Structure 1
Amino acid sequence: MKLLIVNADDFGLTESINRAIMVAHRDGILTSASLLANGPAFDQAIASSQQFPQLSVGVHLNISEGSPVSPAARIPSLVNGRGELHLSPFHLWVRILTGQISLEDIHSECRAQVLKLLDAGLGPSHLDGHLHVHVLPQLSHILIALAREFCIPYVRCPAEDLGATLPALWKIAGTGIATLERSAIAYGVSSFARRLREQLRMAGLFCPDAFLGLAHTGFLDTKSLSALLALVPNGTTELMCHPGYAMAQVESIDGGRARAREAEVVGLTAPQVKEILASLGIRLSNFRDLEANVC
């Protein structure tokens, strides 16, 4: 059996992204979302999710961008002089390795983000990381501790079969600078994710059997999405996406990716995509539908 969880990242980043996620869920194939506890549109995301109980919602742990949930004074190694999170995953990793980042600060902020969802009345269905920061090797024990403490059975493992997905990407988008950069990032993330998968297994936690959408981040239009669906294997697969609508607010926050996000909304709601799912025998699911218990 082929089960597919279609999960949108960046829920709570802006109201236009929230709206796109709701449209893709209501009218399309989107089944799940990962919520930024420190997102400017967090409250609106909570209110929207309450209208669609079939949408599973997890925590999109963010220690790279925006204002922290914790008071800045409690996590001094993570913030800049303005009290903001500011480190890319690469720079965060380097500072962890060189002892400039406190792992206690990371645990404190990530825990505060999970608690913020719980305080809002939402029990997270899964954990993952903004910009895949959760796959960094030094953070796996923090991730596992949080999943156990809050009884969250599923964690994203973005270990993609790049031997299949990268040729599909290059065929559609070419081999320019943007796609080659995306390919290099995908190799690094997948390498760390394979290690994380084994650690989660040993800890009694779970992740879907396969992952799609890593190489195609920023390139997931209707054509690309249709090609990826043909790669869904037997078992449970998570397909990551980033839907949104092109508005000035999104462009200023999101680094010019709003047009690509809008193309994803079109793909996620396209009738032909639903037809492909049916023809391939793929059944939509979400993290709450999966049977797992870690408490």
Structure 2
Amino acid sequence: MTRRLIFNADDLGLHAAVNEGIERAHRDGVLSAASLMVGEPGFEEGVRIARANPGLAVGLHLTLTDGRPVLPPAQIPSLTQANGLFRDDMDRMGARIALSRAAQDELAAEVAAQMARFRETGLPCDHVNAHKHFHNHPWIAGALIRAAAEAGVRAIRVPWEPQRLIRAAEAISGEGRGDDVGEWALRPAGRVLRARAARRGLRAPDLMVGHSWSGHFTPARLRAVLPLLPEGVTELYFHPAARDGFGRGGPGYRHEAELAALTDPAVIEAVATLPRGGCTPMLFP
């Protein structure tokens, strides 16, 4: 068994700066996959970039918070605000979905609509995941897995990373400690998500790296973690953009630093002999 790597960028389609950063990270660096937001202003440009770069595997980045729905807001009132955008109170929205049959029906409709919009692009759907990992929610996971399986998608992200690995890399990089992402809760949730997906024929990478460093996956951190990765399939996910402060990124996110990590000559050399690509080819070699 060998190490197989997926370098994935979230938020393709969010903004022109993100689209530019993702294209540069793929053409000039190691980025091998991207996750597309189908309701955002940069969606059509993101699709053009994907078509112009057939080596970039593209999947669906399901968006149910901090973004724009595909369906008219009036059809999904449980999920949206008065301004027509998705609700940002994820805890309360999650509770509403869990307790309300109407909200569950709206959720299923919006997930299906986003998958349908992706399929309309004609791009092969390499994988699915969700903005802010909202598919950790059991009802959202169920809707996403069902839509993915019906569309023939074979790969999904499981949002869990081993903190022992992350802390070891931080000791090497000298860049300080990342966020505490609650491994005690995410690990069992990840096992459940992995098992549910497997029952519908979807696989997930063995490891995911990037959660603790979300928006701060710097060149030093990437150089530090790469030699520590075990055998098997690892997804490393990023938020590259051509510039910081474009208005739609996470607060304090270092998008330019993440782009620099993906185009770092030392990183390119380190992975030159390792298999890397989209989720599907890495999981089903």
Out of 248, 251, 265, which is 1:253 matched to?
Answer: 248
Out of 260, 278, 283, which is 1:286 matched to?
Answer: 278
CA 1:186–1:99 in 2, change beyond 3 Å: closer, same or farther? same
Correspondence for 1:264: 258
How far residue 124 of structure 1 moved from its aligned partner, in angstroms, is 1.2
Matched, 1:158 2:159: yes
Normalization by structure 2: what TM-score? Answer: 0.91
Matched, 1:205 2:202: yes
SS in 1 for 2:128: strand
Q: Distance in 2 between matches of 1:110 and 1:79?
A: 14
Q: Distance in 2 between matches of 1:49 and 1:23?
A: 12
Counterpart amino acid of residue 218 in structure 2? D
Q: Is the 8 A contact 1:186 1:215 kept in 2?
A: no
CA 1:291–1:267 in 2, change beyond 3 Å: closer, same or farther? closer
CA 1:88–1:238 in 2, change beyond 3 Å: closer, same or farther? farther
How far residue 75 of structure 1 moved from its aligned partner, in angstroms, is 0.8
- Gaps (5+ residues) in structure 2? none
Matched, 1:219 2:221: no
Correspondence for 1:274: 268
Q: How many residues align?
A: 283
Counterpart amino acid of residue 29 in structure 1? V
Q: CA RMSD in A?
A: 2.2
Q: Distance in 1 between matches of 2:43 and 2:215?
A: 23
Counterpart amino acid of residue 276 in structure 1? A
Q: Is the 8 A contact 1:5 1:286 kept in 2?
A: yes
CA 1:144–1:223 in 2, change beyond 3 Å: closer, same or farther? same
Residue correspondence of structure 1 range 50-69 to structure 2 within 5 A: 50-69=51-70
Counterpart amino acid of residue 89 in structure 1? M
Q: What's the % identity of the aligned pairs? A: 31
Counterpart amino acid of residue 162 in structure 2? D
Q: Is the 8 A contact 1:78 1:101 kept in 2?
A: no
Out of 144, 168, 174, which is 2:176 matched to?
Answer: 174
Correspondence for 2:86: 85
Q: Distance in 2 between matches of 1:75 and 1:50?
A: 31
Q: Distance in 2 between matches of 1:100 and 1:173?
A: 46
SS in 1 for 2:82: coil
How far residue 104 of structure 1 moved from its aligned partner, in angstroms, is 1.2
CA 1:89–1:193 in 2, change beyond 3 Å: closer, same or farther? farther
How far residue 151 of structure 1 moved from its aligned partner, in angstroms, is 0.4
Q: Distance in 1 between matches of 2:215 and 2:24?
A: 19
Q: Is the 8 A contact 2:240 2:258 kept in 1?
A: yes
Larger mean Cα displacement after TM superposition, 98-107 or 198-207: 98-107
CA 1:204–1:213 in 2, change beyond 3 Å: closer, same or farther? same
Q: Distance in 2 between matches of 1:292 and 1:108?
A: 30
Correspondence for 2:104: 103
Q: Distance in 1 between matches of 2:284 and 2:171?
A: 37
How far residue 146 of structure 1 moved from its aligned partner, in angstroms, is 0.7
- Gaps (5+ residues) in structure 1? none
Q: Distance in 1 between matches of 2:186 and 2:284?
A: 25
Q: Distance in 1 between matches of 2:181 and 2:207?
A: 19
Q: Is the 8 A contact 1:30 1:268 kept in 2?
A: yes
Q: Is the 8 A contact 2:170 2:221 kept in 1?
A: yes
Correspondence for 2:22: 21
Counterpart amino acid of residue 192 in structure 1? A
SS in 2 for 1:157: coil
How far residue 285 of structure 1 moved from its aligned partner, in angstroms, is 2.0
Counterpart amino acid of residue 261 in structure 2? G
How far residue 19 of structure 1 moved from its aligned partner, in angstroms, is 0.5
SS in 1 for 2:228: coil
Correspondence for 2:234: 237
How far residue 81 of structure 1 moved from its aligned partner, in angstroms, is 1.2
Larger mean Cα displacement after TM superposition, 27-36 or 239-248: 239-248
CA 1:190–1:91 in 2, change beyond 3 Å: closer, same or farther? farther
How far residue 167 of structure 1 moved from its aligned partner, in angstroms, is 4.6
Q: Distance in 2 between matches of 1:264 and 1:97?
A: 35
How far residue 170 of structure 1 moved from its aligned partner, in angstroms, is 6.7
Q: Is the 8 A contact 1:4 1:283 kept in 2?
A: yes
Could you give the per-residue CA deviations for residues 108-138 of structure 1, whole angstroms, max 9, x where no partner exists?
1111111111112223111000000012123
